Amino acid sequence: MANKNIRALSYRKGLDDNLFENIAEVSNNKGTDTEFKELSKKYMVDDSVILGTSSFYDFTRKENRNKKIHICSGTACMVSKKQGDVINFAKANFNEDEIGHAACVGRCHTNHAFMLDNKTYSASNAESFNDILKNKSIQKNEYNVGCNTKSILTGPVVDIKSFYSLAENYRTLNEIAVNVLKTSKLRGRGGAGFPFWFKLDTVLKESADQKYIVCNADEGDPGAFSDMYLMEEQPHKVLFGMYMSGIIVGANVGVLYVRGEYPDSIRILKEAIDLIENEGYIKNFKFKIIEGQGSYVCGEETALLNSIEGLRPEVRVRPPYPAQYGLYGKPTVLSNVETFANVHWILENSGATYAKLGTDASTGTKLVSLDGRFNAPGIYEIEMGTNLNTIFNEFGKGFVEPIKGFQIGGPLGGIVPLSKVDALTLDFESFSSNSFLLGHASVVSIPASFPMIKFLEHLMEFTALESCGKCYPCRIGSQRGFEMLQKAQETHFLIDKNLFNDLLETLEIGSLCALGGGVPLPMKNALHYFEDELKSYFN
């Protein structure tokens, strides 16, 4: 494992006087080189560590420090074709170099999205944009919410105090709690679908002076805003899941790594944490929110851990897994927002009850994010195993324009042609057996009018921009893939099909993590299902 020295030095000040937060603060305040170098001294690392980290993130790197407005460049906003308006509004009010981008701010349902003054907005006309500029007041992010089964995630928390008191029942019965979760067959909701109980069990059995619970709330997939929903509308479900996990494995700190593009989530979580800590609803447990600084790869669990530590968020090798060597090298339960949000219901209603929902291998419910190309975009809690067409029609209520396909499960998720929708059910197995990916179950619709080659260019560019740069296939391959897809649209250049296939194979089997490893899936789906549309770009 690389960077053990830097990690250990960062651990000395740990989460209380966190290196990453300090770097972010100095960057956000347009700190001088001297201020950065003071940080090196304080943490007893060399300057390269501080520069290495600060130059990594969109919000902390020097060239972006004077950006005042960040316009959403996420996939859902891109296909909506509404962002041109926002760019024009912005140009009328800001210098060119003050306008930056953010890769999805979670307003995939309305689009016209941007981030300003640490808040997110949608503005569909110049008047409302100017109004936002003037008042900078909070604009509540509103969307449809529904459920087709037991509202495990979308039901209300009526009494917060008694909600948390459930944890006390398991304080001495931690192994039983693990068993309940095992019976529930709850799988990680971040995309990989790893059995949640197994992480708890591993960390429980590790002996260490310090253990951590880390919630991956870096919902970076453009098109996904279900974690945002949970943090903003159901924060106690998330916090309880982490608290309970802490009790089970013997960890007294829970870290929420929330992407910086979700400032409202951060504010709401802070309020929720203040409440439960001040009211004494939780005991011997501290929460810490770490605010992301604009990097998709931080959603990868090991990059996320490095990020919290103030190291460059480069993907670590595995093994060791975070359960053994996690945050600051300590045993860590690391899971997604939605996974944690399920814990209370399972412990309250039993694992068996939960397991009855959904399919045999994919139990429970899943939040689905539908983008703004649906007539009824929003967040829907759907029982696993439900037909996709049903969801799109009954909840999404059809589309605002003709659609030819969908990207489901984020930028690394498959491209599902309209014709395949009826063949899919909402569960891990149905998607993977059809060579797609359930992922985080976000749905971005691809309008019939949107060129598929441009969509692919966008995905490759996204990968190239967000690659941590550590492994060769992803660092160089995504750049070359992007260049070829771009060139093929601009000139008479034809992409060498064999070369492109070689590139996809290299990315898929050669990459260190799911970023480089995942981008070939939508490429291959598109080449397969949209061959006619794409063939003129290849030789």
Footprint of other proteins (CB under 8 A) = 1-6, 8-9, 11-12, 33, 36-37, 40, 44-52, 55-56, 61, 295, 297, 312, 314, 317-319, 464-473, 475-480, 483-484, 487, 493, 496, 499, 502-503, 505-506, 509-512
Whole-number minimum distance, CB 475 to other proteins, in Å? Answer: 6
Can you tell me whether residue 243 is helix, strand or coil?
helix
In the complex with other proteins, the residue whose CB is nearer, 450 or 538, is 538
Is residue 307 within 8 A of residue 316, CB to CB? The reply is no
Complex with other proteins: residue 31 or 372, whichever CB lies closer: 31
Q: Is 217 exposed, middle or buried (0-12, 13-18, 19+ CB in 10 A)?
A: buried
Closest CA to 105 of 117, 116, 113, 97: 113
State both tokens at 353: 């009850």
For other proteins, the closer CB: 159 or 490: 490
Q: How far is the CB of 512 from other proteins (least distance, A)?
A: 5
* Beta strands 119-122; 113-116: pairing state: antiparallel
The CB-of-524 to other proteins minimum distance in angstroms stands at 16
DSSP 8-state assignment for residue 536: G
The closest of 239, 245, 237, 244 to 345, measured between CA atoms, is 237
How many of the other CB atoms lie within 10 Å of CB of 505?
13
- Identity of the residue numbered 227: D
Q: State in angstroms the smallest separation of the CB of 65 from other proteins.
A: 15
Q: Which C-beta is closer to other proteins: that of 156 or that of 319? A: 319
Report in angstroms how near the CB of residue 122 gets to other proteins at its nearest.
28
237 φ, ψ to 5°? -65, -40
With vertex at residue 55, the alpha carbon angle to CA 52 and CA 58, rounded to the nearest 5 degrees, is 140
The sign of the dihedral angle between the CA atoms of 117, 99, 299, 446 is: positive
Comparing C-alpha atoms, which of 384, 364, 351 is closest to residue 181?
Answer: 351
* Least distance in angstroms from the C-beta of 490 to other proteins: 12
Residue among 317 and 361 whose Cβ is closer to other proteins: 317
Q: Where are the alpha helices (DSSP H) in 95-215?
A: 126-135, 160-169, 174-184, 196-205
Q: How far is the CB of 483 from other proteins (least distance, A)?
A: 4
- 69 versus 297: smaller Cβ distance to other proteins: 297
User: Toward other proteins, which CB reaches closer, 32 or 449?
Assistant: 32
What are the structure tokens assigned to 390, written together? 């049903």
Q: How far apart, in whole angstroms, are the C-alpha atoms of residue 346 and residue 367?
A: 16
Residue 257 β-bridge partners: 216, 290
Number of H helices, E strands in the chain: 25, 14
Residue 154, classed as helix, strand or coil, is: coil
Question: In the bound complex, what is the minimum distance in angstroms from residue 406's beta carbon to other proteins?
Answer: 27
Task: Tell me whether residue 407 or residue 506 sits nearer to other proteins (CB atom).
Answer: 506
CB of 307 to other proteins, least distance (A): 12
Question: Measured from the CB atom, is 10 or 83 closer to other proteins?
Answer: 10
